[in-house]
Amino acid sequence: MRFTILMAVLSMLLLGCNEQQCLCTLNFVSIRVTVLSPSGTPEAGVNVQTTLLRTGEKLDVNTAESGGVYTVLDDGFAKMLDFRGDRLGVVGVKSDLSFTAEFVARPDGACRCHIEKVSGPESVMLAQQPNSALHAPGAGSGQR
């Protein structure tokens, strides 16, 4: 009897109360990009901003850098992505250097547990840009 009650409680905890009965893994998926200096070495201290191009919304992604590798998007945004894939505009600025890149991401399934990268670069290179490029939406705004 105790075993049956224990199994019932565990089943409710694992399945939750949502309509789709989703079971998500504890893995936390992120899409990352390596930012390179003009000389080709990983660059720290770049202000990176991700924008969901469908809505124009600037996403508050924790872009914490490690060895020049920055997070562009993570599982925290899976529920807002279109199943067909959403375009993400990514802008990075450091002093008079910048980059722009486009990624496409989508949720991994009906439960929207994780994101998956459809397209986008593995690395980008900072380059000197005209002043107008440095003032692209989200560039250098400090918002995250």
Where do the structural domains in the chain lie, given as residue ranges? 26-134
Question: Higher pLDDT residue, 74 or 21?
Answer: 74
- The predicted structure's pLDDT at residue 65: 83
Q: Label residue 6 left, alpha or beta by phi (over 0 means left) and psi (-120 to 50 means alpha).
A: alpha
Residue 8 has pLDDT above 70, yes or no: no
**CATH T-level fold of 26-134:** Immunoglobulin-like (2.60.40)
Band the pLDDT of 7: cuts 50, 70, 90: low
Please give the Cα distance from 28 to 83 (Å, whole number).
Answer: 19
Q: Rounded mean pLDDT of 46-71? A: 94
- The predicted structure's pLDDT at residue 63: 80
How does strand 30-36 pair with strand 123-125? parallel
pLDDT tens-digit map of 60-119: 998 878 899 999 999 999 999 999 999 999 999 999 999 999 999 999 989 999 999 999
Token digits for 40?
A: 């080709």
8 Å CB contact between 128 and 89: no
- % the chain with pLDDT above 90: 67
